[in-house]
Structures are given as C-alpha cells and as structure tokens.
Amino acid sequence: MRGPQHHPSVGRRILDMSLTWLIVGAMIGAIGGLRTGRLIELASGVLGGMIVLPIAGVLLGLIGGDAKGSVVGAVGGLMSCWLAKPTGGISIDAVSVEVVVIFGALAGATCVLYLRFVRSSYGILFRAAFQLVDRTLALCGAPALAEYFGATNERTRNPAHRNSRLGRRRVQRTQPWNAGRG
C-alpha cells in the first residue's frame, strides 16, 4: 500500500523544469557547437541553448510537466540517434540530433500529462455511461442487473442510509432556507 502522494508546488515544478531544460539547453548547444570543433562555437552554442530552452522549461512547469520525464526523453532521443549510426549505417547530422533530443524531452515532459488527461476524460465518459445504463435498468424494473453496473446510489435504495448523517445533511440542503422558522 502506498503512502500519500507528494505533489510539489507550482513554484517548485517551475524551478525543477527550468533547471532541467537549462541542462538540456547546454547539451543541445554542445551538440551544435561540436560540428566544427572550435571552442568559441561550442561556448556560444552552450550559452545560446542555456538562454533559450529554460523558457520552454518554465512553460512546461506551469502546465505540470515532469522533470524526470524530460531527462528520460532527452536521453532516449540521444541514445536513439547514437544507436542509429552503427545499426543503420547512416550518419545523422548534428541538427537532426538536436531536433530528436528536444522532441524526446518534450514528449517525456508531457507524456504523464497526456495519460492523466486521457484517463480522466474517458473515466468521466464511462462513469456517465454506466450511470445512464444503471438508471435505465432500474426504471425498467431490473434492479439485479442495475447493481451489476455499480452506479446505483446505495443511499437512495436503502432506507437505513437515508437516515444517516450524510443523508440528513443532503435533505437539509434541499429544503428552503427559511423552512422551520416561525
């Protein structure tokens, strides 16, 4: 059994993502600067990458991106480019490697967000469909089949739950404000 999940604050996520993308920017700049092999181009490439890519990190941190996923995606993109050389016999140029590494880092940062969105949207759709089927079966007089879908509300079927604390509170909320006052 897992303990409570720790969700970092927005400021912490932005800091983590901007630092992660600072490192990714330095790596991208180094890859671009190694084309000619001159030190000045290497330093300017690293500096340029470190200036531009943390902006993407801040934006990804704002939408809830994953810093670990960015690192895994960037390393995966870099490894796939390095593995393409010996296996395919094709030498990949530095610009293509930069694009693949950035795309991998973006995909890694947003993959968890996408999966959460899909799970929540399909969860809402399936829950609504099950409730519709459940209520239809209950109206048609098939409560045994309606229980199979599990969307029926126990508090509405069982009189013992109507008198529970939550049931009384719900009844109190549905009554007019001045009911019971003389």
97 and 24 fall within a common domain? yes
Q: What is the pLDDT of residue 151?
A: 46
- Farthest-apart Cα atoms in the chain, separation: 90
Pick the more confident residue, 96 or 172.
96
- 98 and 157 part of one domain: no
- Domain hosting residue 103, numbered range: 10-116
Kindly state whether residues 130 and 168 are assigned to the same domain. yes
Q: pLDDT digits over 104-114, tens only?
A: 999 999 988 88
Whether the per-residue pLDDT at 144 is higher than 80: the answer is no
Global confidence as pTM: 0.62
Whether 26 contacts 46, CB under 8 Å: yes
Banded model confidence at residue 143, pLDDT cuts 50, 70, 90? low
Higher pLDDT, 144 or 92: 92
Q: Which of 20-24, 28-32, 133-137, 146-150 has the highest mean pLDDT?
A: 20-24
Reported confidence tier of residue 1, pLDDT bands at 50, 70, 90? very low
C-beta neighbour count of 69 within 10 angstroms: 21
The structure tokens listed for 77 are: 């993109």
The C-alpha atoms of residue 102 and residue 25 are separated, in whole angstroms, by: 9
CA angle 88, 93, 95 (to 5 degrees): 135
44-69 pLDDT, tens digit per residue, is 989 999 999 999 999 999 988 888 99
Q: Which residue has the higher pLDDT, 97 or 153?
A: 97
**Amino acid 118: pLDDT:** 83
Q: What is the mean pLDDT of the chain?
A: 78
Residue spans of beta strands (DSSP E) within the chain: none
Helix (H) or strand (E) holding 85: helix 67-88
- Give per-residue pLDDT as tens, 10-56: 889 899 999 999 999 999 999 888 877 788 888 998 999 999 999 99
Instruction: Look at 7 and 73; give whichever has higher pLDDT.
Output: 73
Tell me whether residue 30 is in a domain: yes
Q: Which residues contact 159 (CB under 8 A, 6 or more apart)?
A: none
The verdict on residue 182 lying in a domain is no
Please say which residue of 100, 116, 132 terminates a domain.
Answer: 116
Whether residue 135 is found in the same domain as residue 46:
no
Is residue 29 situated within a structural domain?
yes
